[in-house]
Amino acid sequence: MAIRITGIDLAAYPVDGGRKGQLHQGFCQSGPLDPYAFTVANLLCGQRSATAIEFMGGLRVEFTAPAVVSVTGATAEISLDNQHQPCWQTLHVKAGQHLSVTPARPGSKHYLAIQGGFDFPQVINSASLVKREKLGGLHNDGQPLNVHDEVQSLAVTSRFHLPPALPQPLIPDYSSAVRVGLVPGYQHDWLDSLQWQRLFNSEYTVTPQIDRMGCRLSGPAIELPSRALYSEAIALGAMQIPPDGQPIVMMADRQTLGGYPKAGTIARCDLNHFAQGIPGDKITFYQLDADDARAKWLLQLAAIERWLSL
């Protein structure tokens, strides 16, 4: 079973759960930018955390064999041989059919999952592609997919059970005005009350300086005292405040260590909304303490488990 890539507008590359337990060796975490959409894409194919294709901009593929697939992510037009198909649902595809995905907004993130998972080389226990580290991809050199590439899927075993249709409330509303929870941490006490007010009461704009490593925002500058700081581990979603006061949120492919002060981290329950931001989008932040952030995350997981047990 395989797909042949017939069109890539911006970028497409393999992602899975990421490199786990390797940060201390300098390997970045990698994995999906929108972990929620990635997870649901796999669940719709009857599996957890198999290798999927993350893509930005349009993607067109031809199937060389029948397959069970799903497409998730921000709003997009999906068609199979020009027949309209729903996003965030299981799709049954016949050999020779052409799938086309056209995102409503260029730069949003989307996932194509296939039953069995796509077959990409594994390196350090993961198929996730990291360009900077020259890891992953069809030739395991960190190069993303190209038109004409063929990607195989792994064998489907009998333990795959397809879930019922995904209930509407489990489909995220990726509207362009995004409110994102921030869990104060790290050097949070370097911000005085005025700076915290500024951070929580201002609108920040996603700049074009955005990639899989991080997302630079622009808005009212956060002023911090100038103090020495040894490089330290950077958590997923950490908000760095460089000397110009414009926050940078660190994403899946972030470097493992860094020496900029950090105000805190984006709450996991809102990380997918933040990751779907494209240049020009407006973001506001609200304070969330660690217990509440964990509770909100566990509620999201519970909602998914309820769907699977329907």
Token readout for 227 is: 């103090």
| Residues of this chain, 180-199, that bind another protein according to CB under 8 A | 183-188
- Residue 230 in contact with another protein, rule: CB under 8 A: yes
Instruction: Give the x/- contact pattern for another protein in 119-158, rule: CB under 8 A.
Output: ----xx-------xxxx-----------------------
DSSP 213: S
Question: Rounded to an integer, what is the distance from CA 213 to the centroid of its chain?
Answer: 11
Q: How far apart, in whole angstroms, are the C-alpha atoms of residue 113 and residue 285?
A: 32
- Residue 215 in contact with another protein, rule: CB under 8 A: no
Q: Report the DSSP beta bridge partners of residue 264.
A: 184, 239
Q: Which residue has the tokens 């226990």?
A: 125
Q: How far is the CB of 233 from another protein (least distance, A)?
A: 4
- Residue 233 in contact with another protein, rule: CB under 8 A: yes
- Residue 179 in contact with another protein, rule: CB under 8 A: no
- Residue 290 in contact with another protein, rule: CB under 8 A: yes
- Residue 268 in contact with another protein, rule: CB under 8 A: yes
- Residue 93 in contact with another protein, rule: CB under 8 A: no
Q: How far apart, in whole angstroms, are the C-alpha atoms of residue 201 and residue 293?
A: 20
Name the one range near another protein by CB under 8 A: 51-59, 68-76, 101-109, 234-242. 234-242
For another protein, the closer of residues 165 and 290 by Cβ is 290
Q: Decide if 128 contacts 15 (C-beta within 8 A).
A: yes
Name the one range near another protein by CB under 8 A: 82-90, 150-158, 193-201, 292-300. 292-300
- Using the rule CB under 8 A, which residue among 77, 92, 255, 308 binds another protein? 255
What is the total count of residues that contact another protein (CB under 8 A)?
42
Name the one range near another protein by CB under 8 A: 3-11, 79-87, 146-154, 285-293. 285-293
- Using the rule CB under 8 A, which residue among 1, 15, 215, 238 binds another protein? 238
Strand ranges (DSSP E) for the chain?
2-8, 11-15, 52-56, 59-63, 67-73, 76-80, 83-85, 90-93, 98-103, 109-114, 150-152, 177-184, 204-210, 214-218, 232-233, 238-240, 248-250, 257-258, 262-266, 282-287
Polymer length in residues for the chain: 310
Give the DSSP per-residue string, 59-87: EEEEESS-EEEEEEESSEEEEETTEEE-S
- Residue 25 in contact with another protein, rule: CB under 8 A: yes
Summarize as ranges the residues that interact with another protein (CB under 8 A): 20-21, 23-27, 123-124, 132-135, 183-188, 230-233, 235-238, 255-257, 264-265, 267-268, 288, 290-291, 293-294, 297-298, 301
